Amino acid sequence: MTQLMKQPSSWLSNGIKLNSCDQFRPFSFTEELQNQLEELLEKNKNNSLNNDEQAELAGLLELEKIFSFINAKLAS
């Protein structure tokens, strides 16, 4: 059975960075994870993602939504 979404929590230990000097974006992806997201988005545009990549992209996009929400709340 194919996983529909990689759990966003799987990146908490090594894919997240805290930007303590940036009050508007305190949480973000590491450069490596951001690059991975961009690669997956490009492959998605070309309809060339396999099932595992689709699950990973779904998880990263969910985590990106969570960060956007948290960062906006902290900035307000």
User: What tens-digit pLDDT sequence spans the chain (76 residues)?
Assistant: 556 899 999 998 899 898 888 878 888 999 999 999 999 999 999 999 999 999 999 999 999 999 999 889 888 8
Cα–Cα nearest to 3, from 62, 59, 66, 60: 59
Q: Catalogue the E-assigned strands of the chain.
A: 16-18, 27-29
The amino acid sitting at 40 is L
For position 54, what pLDDT does the model report? 95
Model pTM score: 0.86
For position 2, what pLDDT does the model report? 59
For position 26, what pLDDT does the model report? 87
